Amino acid sequence: MENRDILVSGGGIAGTALAYWLAQYGFRPAVVERAPAPRTGGHAVDIRGTARQVIERMGLVAQVRRARIGARGMAFINEKGKPVARLGTDVFGPSGGPVAEWALLRTDLARILYGTIRDDVEYAFGNAITNVQQDEDGVTVAFEKGQSRRFDLLVGADGVHSAVRRLSFGPEDRYIRDLDSFIALFSLATDVDLDGWQLMYTMPGGADRPGRTAGLRPLAEPGTALAGFFFRAPGLEFDRRDVAAQKRIVARHFEDAGWEVPGFLSKIWDAPDFYFDRVEQVHVDTWSIDRTVLVGDSAFCASPMSGIGTSLALVGAYILAGELFKAGGDHRVAHAAYESGMREFVDRAQEFARASGDGGLMPDSHAQMWLRNQSVRALPYLPRRIVGRGLEKVADTVVLDSYTDLAHHRTIKP
């Protein structure tokens, strides 16, 4: 094979899964990650549809099952904490609905994936790419720390605000589509009885304020939960480095909220795993330029509220590595095949996220919230073939090739 030495920028879900498959196929991946160690944070992720097959082919089903949160579904509640509409996981099946059967902490999934390659793949934590120079024979990469190095190929798996994409494809504002909303998450200790349900308290919008939702999602450890805040704030600007200011933004937008929200907000100031960002999508016309290619959120983020970003990352990593192996390392052939294999899935996932909109969590009026509740109540009584046309169908868009079958018939020389 040609192009064996591959640098992966980003040690998250997409980057680590890609490094695993590349190593399996005889490539020599190296991973550079800005964080000083494997990232922490209690944010929950869902593994849906074809992505479950990727986990199966990695031999990680048992570990993922042990790490599952195991939520029973989502319940919309009123100010007194009483359910007004419920949506159980059994309504949609294992891959559909707002809470998937394979739901676990991002930290746990990242730990499981990292455990598969930590002894076999070069990892450089606490470093980042500062410059990229491509030519016909390879890519020269400069780093914040250490000397420049030469690789055959470069992969940007470094998230929505990808440095690789900025350096190789152009300014970020060409590719980010702002969906005009914000999301904040952090874990906390709570005595709220969740009974396995994700509780969502919605405050409908009016003339003076858009709709908002505050919620709690149970975590595996008893007495702990993930608090979530979802709100619109057109024109809001914030400093990504100033976490304290981000916490003040959330507190200000929910200072008049009822239910248990004041108690959640009192714990926000000491939360070490606080996450805050815009709800955005990434749209890139082509995911590769010469010897550089993008995967995961850097290429096709559907939005952090879509519920399918982790699945896109896992499937994208599997296909990119498999197509490189299938093409004998020929990046021109592999990159085109990767894009062909993933584009429909990405388009459908992003369209689903936009069509679903934020009316469910950020309704403009009491009437819109009432319609949401009525729709949720009706879903369990509809035929499965109708209910399953949503996210579950999107998650099953791709039919995976068996690249491992090809590997069994090809001798890989070191």
Distance CA 353, CA 303 (A): 7
Neighbour count for residue 142 (Cβ, 10 Å): 14
Neighbour count for residue 123 (Cβ, 10 Å): 19
User: Where is pLDDT greater, at 94 or 54?
Assistant: 54
* Residue 42 predicted with pLDDT over 60: no
Q: Is 254 exposed, middle or buried (0-12, 13-18, 19+ CB in 10 A)?
A: buried
In terms of CATH architecture, what is 5-68+107-175+283-358+382-408? 3-Layer(bba) Sandwich (3.50)
Evaluate whether 300 touches 350 at the Cβ level (below 8 Å).
yes
Quickly list DSSP for 312-347. Answer: HHHHHHHHHHHHHHHTTT-HHHHHHHHHHHHHHHHH
Evaluate whether 215 touches 379 at the Cβ level (below 8 Å).
no
Contacts of 5 (CB under 8 A, 6+ apart): 27, 28, 30, 150, 151, 152, 153
Distance CA 303, CA 284 (A): 14
Per-residue pLDDT tens digits for 306-320: 789 999 999 999 999
* Residue 385 predicted with pLDDT over 70: no
Q: What does R_g of the chain's alpha carbons equal in angstroms?
A: 21
- Lowest average pLDDT, out of 93-107, 144-158, 286-300, 303-317, goes to 93-107
- Lowest average pLDDT, out of 109-113, 164-168, 370-374, 401-405, goes to 401-405
* Residue 411 predicted with pLDDT over 60: no
- Lowest average pLDDT, out of 16-30, 31-45, 75-89, 203-217, goes to 31-45
- Lowest average pLDDT, out of 106-110, 155-159, 261-265, 292-296, goes to 106-110
Structure token digits, residue 289: 């330029």
Q: How far is CA 9 from CA 76, 168, 239, 281, 352, in A?
A: 39, 13, 23, 20, 28
Name the residue ranges covered by the structural domains of the chain: 5-68+107-175+283-358+382-408
Q: What is the per-residue pLDDT for 57? A: 95
Quickly list DSSP for 157-198. Answer: -S-TT-HHHHHHH--GGGTEEEEEEEEEEEEEE-----TTEE
Distance CA 332, CA 330 (A): 6
User: Where is pLDDT greater, at 356 or 159?
Assistant: 159
Instruction: Tell me which DSSP letter residue 219 carries.
Output: -
* Residue 215 predicted with pLDDT over 50: yes
Amino acid residing at 192: V
Q: What is the per-residue pLDDT for 38? A: 79
Nearest to 102 by CA among 285, 311, 251: 311
Distance CA 191, CA 257 (A): 19
Sign of CA dihedral 396, 109, 17, 176: positive
| Sheet containing strand 153-156, strands side by side | 122-125, 28-33, 5-9, 153-156, 292-294, 288-289
Helix 331-356 × helix 309-326 angle, to 10°? 160
pTM of the model: 0.88
CA angle 83/230/43 to nearest 5° reads: 90
H/E element holding 202? strand 197-203
Quickly list DSSP for 41-72. Answer: ---EEEE-THHHHHHHHTT-HHHHHHHB----
* Residue 97 predicted with pLDDT over 60: no
Q: What is the per-residue pLDDT for 406? A: 61
Neighbour count for residue 174 (Cβ, 10 Å): 12
Distance CA 298, CA 129 (A): 14
Neighbour count for residue 110 (Cβ, 10 Å): 21
- Lowest average pLDDT, out of 66-70, 285-289, 349-353, goes to 66-70
Mean pLDDT of the chain: 88
Structure token digits, residue 173: 């504002």
Per-residue pLDDT tens digits for 221-257: 888 899 999 998 888 899 988 999 999 999 999 999 9
Quickly list DSSP for 268-329. Answer: GGG-TT-EEEEEEEE--S-SEETTEEE-THHHH---TTSS-HHHHHHHHHHHHHHHHHHTTT
Nearest to 100 by CA among 156, 44, 152, 148: 44
β-bridge pairing 28-33 and 5-9: parallel
Terminal C-alpha separation, the chain:
10
Binned at pLDDT 50, 70 and 90, residue 335 comes out as very high
Q: What is the per-residue pLDDT for 410? A: 47
- Lowest average pLDDT, out of 247-251, 277-281, 375-379, goes to 375-379
